[in-house]
Amino acid sequence: MKTLTSFLVFLVNIAYVFSGAVYKVNVGSGSHLNIRSGPSTGDKIVGQLNNGDFIYAISVNNGWVKYYRGYVSRDYVTGPSGGSTVTTNSNLNFREGPATKYSKIVTLNKGTSVTYYGKDQTDSVWAVTNQGYAHTDYLNLGGGSSSSSVLKKAEVAADYARQHAHPKSQGWCAKYVANALEYAGFKFTRQGSACFYHTKGILKGMGFTNISKPGSFKKGDIAVHGCNSAHEYGHIQIYDGSGWYSDFKQKSTNVYSSNSPPLYYYRA
């Protein structure tokens, strides 16, 4: 009996050692997952995660995943998908949360490959990786500005936009598309108006090319409505391979019923 007890304790310890892993929130489009102060539905709700968000777990026990903000139910997270291989550009500490105050998990040498899943939900300068949280300044996200890396990031952004879209417009197209682009690893200055992503060359600065309206769209394509007197902010949207998304799932690229501004198309 003593031997069996020791073996079970050993297994529990092993489970804890290997519980440091990335999980993806899977609650359905437009839904949220509650973060709680403790591992029970009776504990206080301290925040929410969106469908498709990634977290790095500190531990998993009795059906609850613990990460730096609190606890989430294991029933609503799955193994990660959609990660990309990146390298460290210096010797880099990976931590249990997105700040230097959190405990260090491991230090990896410059040039080490890790799997990158996206930005942290509360602090976009920190990345979620298979080794823990790391500052994005010290990761070669996307491997540079080559056309292949821009395309890969554009496709990740399209998936994120679809996962976070609402059934109806929220009036925040630029915010939601910017969230998706940042999540995928693009670096740019957010704009107050959607049309500025075209007129100020923001998309070109990310590596997108302004193209004529194509015969067919590809995953990661972006379309921008210019601004006019009727629509002073314009509109921006991204294509996921089957439909167009901004802050909501659209029926077509043209979201206006009248006085529609011209559309400008961009491709990675």
pLDDT in tens, 193-243: 999 999 999 999 989 999 999 999 999 999 999 998 888 899 999 999 999
Report the distance separating Cα 115 and Cα 156, nearest Å: 14
**Domains defined along the chain, listed by start:** 2-78 (2.30.30.40), 84-143 (2.30.30.40), 147-267 (3.90.1720.10)
pLDDT in tens, 142-198: 544 444 578 888 998 999 999 999 999 999 999 999 999 998 888 899 999 999 999
Band (20; pLDDT cuts 50, 70, 90): low
Residue 245, pLDDT above cutoff 90: yes
Band (61; pLDDT cuts 50, 70, 90): very high
Residue 16, pLDDT above cutoff 50: no
CB 56 within 8 A of CB 25: no
Report the distance separating Cα 139 and Cα 154, nearest Å: 18
233: amino acid identity, one letter? Y
What is the model's pTM?
0.53
Band (119; pLDDT cuts 50, 70, 90): confident
pLDDT-wise least confident of 115-119, 203-207, 222-226, 250-254: 115-119
Q: Which residues of 79-90 are buried (b: 16+ CB within 10 A; e: fewer)?
A: ebebbbebbbee
The predicted structure's pLDDT at residue 8 = 42
Angle at 101 between CA 95 and CA 107, to 5 degrees: 30
Report the distance separating Cα 129 and Cα 118, nearest Å: 8
- Give the sheet arrangement for strand 84-88, strand by strand: 104-108, 92-95, 132-135, 126-129, 113-119, 84-88, 139-140
